[in-house]
Homo-oligomer: A and B are copies of this chain.
Amino acid sequence: MDQNEKTTEDKIFEAASRIFEEKGFTGSRMQEIADRAGINKALLHYYFRTKEKLFDAVFSKLAGIMFKKLFSCLDNDLPLEQKLAMFYKEHIGFLQKHPGLPAFVFHEINRNPERIARIFSNEQVVIMRKKFYKQLDEEIEAGVIRPVDKMQLVVNIVALSVFPFAARGLVSMILGEGKMKFNDFVEDRKTLLPLFIVNALRNP
Contact = CB atoms under 8 A, between A and B. Distances in A.
B26 A23 contact: yes
B120 A173 contact: yes
Contacts of A30: none
A-B complex: 4 closest residue pairs judged by Cβ atoms: A159-B163, A109-B169, A200-B200, A26-B27
Interface stretch (A8-16, A36-44, A133-141, A185-193): A185-193
Contact of A107 (B107, B163, B174): B107
A80 interface: no
B159 A117 contact: no
A111 interface: yes
Nearest to A112: B169
A22 B152 CA distance: 26
Given A188-B149, A199-B199, A111 B27 contact: yes
Contact of A24 (B24, B100, B166, B201): B24
Given A125-B174, A152-B188, A156-B196, A166 B163 contact: yes
Contacts of A26: 23-24, 26-27
Given A23-B26, A149-B188, A188-B149, A164 B169 contact: no
Interface string A76-111: 000000000000000000000000101101110111
13 contacts: A22-B110, A24-B24, A24-B27, A102-B167, A103-B107, A103-B110, A109-B169, A116-B169, A120-B173, A156-B196, A159-B160, A162-B163, A196-B200
